[in-house]
Amino acid sequence: MGTHRRPKPPSRARIATIGMAAGAVSLLPTQSQAAPKPTVDEVRKQVEKLYEEATGPTEEYNAIREQQEKLQGEVDSAQDRLARKQQEVNELREKIGPLAASQYRSGGIDASVQLFLSGEPDDYLEQAEMLDRTSNRQADALRAMQAKQRELTQERQAIQKRLEDLKETRTKAAKKKDEVQEKLTKARKLLNSLTTAQRARMEAAQEQDDAAAGVSDSAATYNGPASGRAKTVLDFAYAQLGKPYEWGSTGPNSYDCSGLVGASWRAAGVSLPRTVKQMYDAGRKVAKSDLQPGDIIYWYNDNQHNGMYVGNGKAIHAPRTGKNIEVVPLDSMPFFAASRP
């Protein structure tokens, strides 16, 4: 970051004029002077730094969002199971009702009294056997209902735990989102502090830097050395050239870095994890000297930024907020590792 020039102290005449205009009592200068506006180059460096600082939290946000979606799926499945178990309990209740009524009607009198009142002992014994069977069926149904009731309670507890976890991930996601938004808002404020002419100068300087580094973000068709599945991946990626980077996005109109990699490989029928870190952990590592088109490139470290090798010492990636998907020299950023899905 550039150094700030110390402003020239104002003349006494100037101080007096300012003091009178403001109705000030004292003609002495105040301790705090307005800080000089940063230069175009300083703004550019600060903006680049803020955008770079936003990439880490963006990937953390992506991981939390993925976890949130998984938990939401588990909650939905558990609620379906809960509804089925509740229905089973209701059906068992309906079966037990008539059995209980039958026992109440026939089984409320003492067995010896029933035998005495019965004109035909054989009829009584037959009735007693039937009641015994009824009682056994009722006992079985009650046991089944108690088991289902326990399952129902466990399912409710499991859902409650999942809902608590889901609430926690939502809170985490909101915090990460705020962290990213704060950095992007600071960057926007810095850019808005520039005049139109200064903005134009900054953009022209960026374009010169990109041209000098061999960066290309104009729409093009992939015609490199890839073949088969890797060609499908890179054909898709090249069709996205010029589309904007947007944090947390997986297409089709914008992408973040891991969003572009995931969408490109998905076009070839390969499902990758969501974040840079997860892709790095899941992939088969390849040496820089063994790179093949389509391999995933990791710059800086294992969780900050990635793209794909296109061959001939170049890579395609979604760079950062304010820029579009582009092709860059492989070594335009510090190479960390590569993996092959």
Catalytically annotated residue among 274, 314, 317, 320:
317
Is 317 a known active-site residue?
yes
Is 316 a known active-site residue?
no
Bridge partner residues of 285 (DSSP): 339
Q: How far is CA 307 from CA 13, 48, 292, 325, in A?
A: 60, 19, 13, 10
Catalytically annotated residue among 257, 261, 316, 328:
257
The answer to whether 219 and 242 have CB atoms below 8 angstroms apart is yes
- Least Cα distance to 195 among 52, 18, 37, 60 occurs for 37
Instruction: Give the amino acid at 327.
Output: V
CA–chain centroid gap for 53, Å, is 18
The answer to whether 309 and 288 have CB atoms below 8 angstroms apart is no
The answer to whether 1 and 50 have CB atoms below 8 angstroms apart is no
DSSP conformation letters of 299-341:
ESSSSSEEEEEEETTEEEE---TT-B-EEEEGGGS-EEEEEE-
Is 4 a known active-site residue?
no
Catalytically annotated residue among 183, 305, 314, 320:
305
Helix-, strand-, coil-residue percentages of the chain, each rounded to 5: 60, 10, 30
Count the residues in the chain: 341
Cα–Cα distance, 183 to 213 (Å, whole number): 26
Q: Which residues are catalytic?
A: 257, 305, 317
